[in-house]
Structures are given as C-alpha cells and as structure tokens.
Amino acid sequence: MLAPVAALTDRSSSSGASSRAPGGDRGDRVRSMLPRLLPWLGLAVAVGLVAWSFWYPGHSGEEVYSRAPRSASDRAVPPLHGLWEPKWFGPGTAPAVLLALLSWRYAAGLAERLPWRRLLVVGYAAGLAWMLSLALVDGTAGLSRQLGNPYEYLTTARDVGGLGTLFSTWLERMPLDSPDAFPTHVAGHPPAALLFFVALVKVGLGGDLAAGVVVTLLAATTALAVLVTLRALGAEATARRAAPFLVVAPTAVFMAVSGDAVFAAVAAWGIACLALGTAALARASTPKAHDRKQRRDRRRGVGWSLLAGLLLGMLVMMSYGMPLMGLLAVAVLVAGRSWRPLPLAAGAALVVVLGFAAAGWAWWDFYPALVERYEEGIAKDRPEDYWRWANLALLVISAGPLVAAGVAHLAARPRAWLRRDHAPLLLAGAAVVMVAAADASGMSKAEVERIWLPFMPWLLVSCALLPERWRRWGLGLQLLTALVVQQLFYTVW
C-alpha cells in the first residue's frame, strides 16, 4: 500500500512543481532583468526631466525666475542660472577637448594600474587641468568675473575691518532693505564663508583672478578626498573605478570659481578624515592586534577624528545647508563598523560652533533671519511646483546624466546593502537622502547646479557600481555633457 501512495505523492509534487514553474520562471526572468533595466530607466527619466525643465518655462507662460534679468538682451535659459551664449571656440576649448579624449581613452586603465599615491597625484593634476581648461573657454574672465561681481564675497571681504564690528552688525545688515545690506551670498551664508575670502585678502590673494585660482586649486582636491574615503573604508577597487568619474566630472564647469566648491572640498576632507579615524580606531580595537600597533592606531584614530570634527564644524559655519552632511558622516561610521570617532568628532565640531557663538555669531540666532532674507529676494517669485523638479534637472546637468543611471542601479541591488563591503552603497545612498532633504526643504529653489556641489561627488560614486559596459561609454557621456554645457551657455560659475 505504501509504494502506490508514495508514487502518487511524487507525481502530485512533480505536477505541482511543473504547474508553478512557468510563473516561477517569469518571476526569475523579471528579477534577472531588473538590474539591467533600472539604469536605463533612470537615464531616460533624467533626460526627460532635463528636457521638460527647459521646455516648460517657454511654453507654459509661467515666469520661473531662474535669474533676475540684468539687461533687455539677456537670453535666460531656465532652469540654469545662466544665459544662452554659444562659444564655438575659446582659449580653453582645444585643451578641454584634448583632455576629454585622453580621459575617455586612458583614464579607466590608468586608474586601475597606477600605484595609489601616484593615482592621487595624477588625478589631482588631471582634475585641475580639466577645471582650468573649461573655465578658460571664456578666457581669464572665466576665472575672475564671478568672484568679482558685487553679489559675491570678495567685495565685502575687502572692506572687513575687525571681526567684532562685523559680527555685532551682522544681524542688522541681513534684511534686504537695510541701508548697508549684505550682498546675496554673504547674507545667505554663515560667516566662515566670508572669512575664507577675508583671509585671501589679508595674504594678498584678494584679487578677482588670484582668488579664482585659489578656489580652483582647492576645488580640484575634492575628488581625492572621496577616493581616500573609499580606500579607508576598504573599497579601494571601487575607488579606482570611481576615479575617472570624480576627476573629470561635469561638476568642473561649476566648481572652478564657485564658493560652494570650497564648501565641497572642506566637506569631502572632513568626511575623509572621519573615515581614516574610523578605520584606525576599528583596527585599534581588534583583540589580536599588537600592543604597539594598537597604540599607534589609537593615536592616529583620535587625531583624524578630531580633525574631522574641526573641518565639519567649520563647514557648518560656511553654509546653512551643510548640517545635512551629518547623514554622510553616519554612513561612514556604519561602513567602518565603529562608533568610537563619534564623540571625538562631534565634540570638536561643537567647539567650532560654540567658538563662533562666543565671538558673537550664534548659528541658531541667525538662521531665522536667513529665512526672512531668502523670502524677501527672488526666491519668493520662484514657483515651488516647478523648482522641486527643475532642481533635480540641474543636478543631472551639473553631475552628469550617468549619475541617474548609477542611482537607479543602487535600487536594483537590494542584497548588496547587506554585505560587509557595502561602503560605496552607503555613501551614495546617503548622498541621495541629502539631496532629497535639501530639495524638500524649499530653501534651494534654483542655482543648485552650484549649491549642491558638496553632495555631488558622493552621488558620482554610484557610477563606479555600474557594470563595465556602462562605465565604458558612460564616461564619454559625462565628458560630452561638460563640453556642451560649457560651450553653449554662460553659466555664471
């Protein structure tokens, strides 16, 4: 009796399995196709968003106020805070095209083969050359015109006397209708942004061109800080794949003479120091580590963590939006599997913030005045329903369209988030959350092609996680984006 029943059971199981197989196969096929389809979907959405953001203002009849017109001949091109001004050839055009061709052909191979320190040196030189060549498409004015305009920091920095007077009169100079109102960028940022340019003036580098060169020299270090962070968190292979996308990113168009590029560099090095401190303190807590090595790692970890806190504290005093970088700092601690640097870094950052407060400038007192000044200016006329989406289009223009494919690819790898080597995913994921929070705040309507520069290098890490076939042609797309934007538009920055 048992044999026929067993046979029947086997046949029933077999029949049930075969009846479920087609559905199971379809599910498996969908799951296997998803990682291939999502990057294409992300890229398509990004391109569509950019096209819509350019099309809508001219066809809807709605004024979106990407910039205040300076003259009747201004040819504004929302969403860019710039003008339609094609430049078919400039002093930097030939070097920029040559660098783009060489980067597309050789960058990935060199990033894989070069010794680490040499990679950093070559990466810095290439990134600096890329920024300078793009800026010089407009001649030397490409490095000097923006920092020299009255809305920026230098004009005010040249007139600053004592810090006591500056801080004591800061609040009364915040309103737009104040008799001695601060220009837009000074009023829109905490004092460390202005003090950076005051320092340049004091050391004899306060000329428009000299300051532009200094800003560009600092901006070019941002990519190196991201690479150092990845390597400290055990992701050197990803760092090498990411290097070309970071070094010759389209962000170079907007970083060369932007004060926000200085914030991006300070933020990146603060995060890099935190990653180095996390790695060192994690090694120091390993039970089998040699005592002498443990003490050395502990000292290094403490030093890097304190330096990270000082840099990140100064960053908060440079831009009101930079507390969002705390999300990235948490991602570093999670990826490094150590919370030991947290009290050290947080304490050092607090020392900076409280130091400014003791000198007469408390962040929490001035933020409400910033909101009032923001709503007094052109921001009050910018429709939020347009800019909520146009901001993301500007992100695609500045960081490059491949970043949309990279971010979409993150969502196609749910199991990868659970691996121990998930540091690149965490960094890129934290950048996505930071951008979403900044966009939702309503305090970043337009101009985010430079305002969000501190977030963009971390988003670009996602490009290194794409399959090789994507990276090969994707780098070319990124380079072409930078050349087209620089040659066709007067981007201000």
Domain ranges of the chain: 77-383+463-490
Strand bridging mode 489-490 / 83-84: antiparallel
Helix (H) or strand (E) holding 303: helix 291-316
Residues 6+ apart with CB under 8 A from 461: 226, 230, 238, 242, 246, 406, 424, 427, 428, 431
- Cα 235 to Cα 237: distance, rounded to the nearest angstrom: 6
Please answer whether residues 266 and 215 qualify as being in contact, where contact means their C-beta atoms are separated by less than 8 angstroms: no
Residue whose C-alpha is closest to residue 176's, from 372, 368, 367? 372
Q: Which tokens go with 163?
A: 């810090």
pTM as predicted: 0.92
Q: From the CB of residue 118, how many other CB atoms can be counted at a distance below 10 Å?
A: 11
Q: Which residues contact 4 (CB under 8 A, 6 or more apart)?
A: none
Tokens of 154: 């230098």
Residue 177 CA, distance from chain mean position: 33
| Separation between Cα atoms, residue 356 and residue 269, nearest integer Å | 21
pLDDT in tens, the chain (493 residues): 334 433 433 333 344 444 444 555 665 665 667 778 999 999 999 999 999 999 999 999 899 999 866 666 678 899 999 899 998 889 999 999 999 999 999 999 999 999 999 999 999 999 999 999 999 999 999 999 889 888 899 999 999 988 889 999 999 999 999 999 999 999 999 999 999 999 999 999 999 999 999 999 999 999 999 999 999 999 999 999 999 999 999 999 999 989 999 999 999 999 999 999 999 999 988 776 668 888 899 999 999 999 999 999 999 999 999 999 999 999 999 999 999 999 999 999 999 999 999 999 999 999 999 999 998 888 889 999 999 999 999 999 999 999 999 999 988 766 666 566 689 999 999 999 999 999 999 998 999 999 999 999 999 999 999 999 999 999 999 999 999 999 999 987 7
Listing DSSP states for 90-122 in one string gives -TTHHHHHHHHHHIIIIIHHHHHHS-HHHHHHH
